[in-house]
Amino acid sequence: MSETKNSRFPIYAVIFTVAFKLLFLLTHYIQEDAFITWRVAQNLLDYGVIGFNGETKISASTTHLYVFVSYFFNLIFGKEHFIVPILLFNSILFTIGTLFLSHLVLKKGWQKAVFIFLIGILPPAIKISILGMEYGILFSLEMALLYYGFNKGKKWAFIFLPALIMFTRIDTVIFLGIAFLVDLFWNKKIRWSYVFGGVLGVSLTMAFNWLYFGELVNNTITAKKLLYEQAFTFQQSLHYFLVSFGNFWGMLKVPGEFNPVTIIVLIFELLCFIYLVRQRQSRNYFLWIIFVFGWTKQIIFISQKSLFDWYYWVPQLLLFVPVVIFVLEQKEKRKLWLSLLIIFYILPMFAFQTIHSIATGNGEWNYRRTIGIFLNQYEKDKNQWILLEPAGYVPYFSGLKTIDEVGLVDKQIQAEIKKDKANYWINTVKTRKPKYLLSYKNLYEGNTADAFYYQTHYRLLKEFRVKDHLKSDNKILEKIYKLKPSGTDYNLYIRID
């Protein structure tokens, strides 16, 4: 009876962890890019087209699979009520992914249960669960591939899961490739069913992009590369790496160029990994897969100067897995090790993420969302255009057609970037004549031709300021808002001719 109860501990841990993290829904911290995906899903619902602005096809979202999942959640729950259900769905899937992972690296039920909870309340895990991004689905699919494919040897997993993983995000080819290479090195043979699944995944994703959008890779990748690409010297690249390393390799993102916490944690992760693989257990196979993938993904994305922190969530968690295993498997002074881990790392990280979620949720939901709501009430003609950045909250809640600075949701601006990168914003305003401009800057400032054009053709409609949203009846919340103000000041302009 106790054996059966012990085996159920991981399931109980999944339920408890999901329920515990639901408290973070109260912070209203939802990532800007989630609203891009959800608007694409609603565009599919309204126009039958995967796009962002009516009947124009564009892969504005990074993820195809999550677009379709979001579409069904909108269909079932309605546009007004789907957000909480889909966030719950993401959290459940992610936590099931940690369940699969626990089965691969631990033996005892109580160890798996503690592992699921401790991993589940780390900052990246909280963000994966409740920020509305596609990583809950992605993490569960990747861990299911390791569990059912490489652990259980199920051919269906090798054939179908790579296709679903690739259809979620095209950059998951890194994960699939690392798993293949480690498996080949470990078993000295090729799993042809996995090769077939990988080829199928790449082929289906690129075929879908080509046949539907007329492109091989998602527009989001093309747009970011076009706008952000710069020529760096070796010294500049090295400096960039060191600056980025401090913030993105670990779980604690802090201002400045040096993050000592990251260095300490990274060294401890390496030491724990070396300690575990020296034991020569069968699980080493999976430790090598997740650890090599974590390092590879981090290095590739930092080297490509990718600053968006969601690229690093899954690697951050996987690199930390050996630390939790090491602590849970201590035979002597286990309670001391576990207490030290919880008191000096887990709880501070959890507290940090709680404060971050409350502050950022205020800046996004209580501030940036209000801009979209204001425009939704002010402008009844939803065929009017707005030029802005970013393309998440404001377009979603305003319902207006959108040109974003990067070109994620509108390809025409990419043509302006190619023609004249330095002046593409003003050139777009002159050629497209959007009714609304939302800018970080005062467009009237300076004695330039651009400023004169804005003064002549646009009127300042409303100023939006972060400082106006740092108040709360709850004094603790108000202190958090002021401790970490989140958001950007905006000026909203309306065309007058």
**Which has the higher per-residue pLDDT, 122 or 487?**
122
pLDDT at 225: 81
The 10 Å Cβ neighbour count of residue 455 is 12
pLDDT score of 98 more than 50: yes
Q: What is the pLDDT of residue 166?
A: 95
Residue 166 to residues 141, 306, 319, 414, Cα–Cα distance (Å): 10, 20, 22, 26
Angle (deg, nearest 10), helices 347-361 and 475-483: 90
Task: Choose among 168, 166, 197: nearest CA to 180.
Answer: 197
- Specify the higher pLDDT residue, 256 or 408: 408
Check pLDDT > 70 for residue 1: no
Q: What is the pLDDT of residues 111-156, one digit of tens each?
A: 999 999 999 999 999 999 999 999 999 999 999 999 999 999 999 9
- For 331-388, how does the pLDDT look when each residue is reduced to its tens digit (9 = 90+)? 888 889 999 999 999 999 999 999 999 999 999 999 999 999 999 999 999 999 999 9
The Cα 168–Cα 310 span in angstroms is 14
Q: What is the pTM of this model?
A: 0.93
Q: Which residue has the higher pLDDT, 325 or 4?
A: 325
Tokens, residue 17: 């962890």
* Boundaries of every domain in the chain: 359-495
Q: In what order do the strands lie in the sheet with 401-404?
A: 401-404, 385-388, 436-439, 490-495, 458-464
- Name, in order, each residue with C-beta under 8 angstroms of 464's C-beta and a sequence gap of 6 or more: 367, 370, 371, 489, 490, 491, 492
pLDDT of residue 245: 66
Selected residue with higher pLDDT from 222 and 252: 222
Cβ atoms of 134 and 168 within 8 Å: the answer is: yes
Average pLDDT over residues 388-413: 93
Average pLDDT, the chain: 91
* Confidence tier at 435 by pLDDT (50, 70, 90): very high
The confidence score (pLDDT) of residue 260 equals 77
pLDDT at 7 exceeding the cut of 80: no
Helix (H, G, I), strand (E, B) or coil at 437: strand
Q: How far apart are CA 63 and CA 134, in angstroms?
A: 7
Kindly state the DSSP code that residue 461 receives in the 8-state scheme.
Answer: E
Neighbours of 55 (CB within 10 A): 10
Indicate the range of 39-43, 221-225, 292-296, 336-340 predicted with least confidence: 221-225
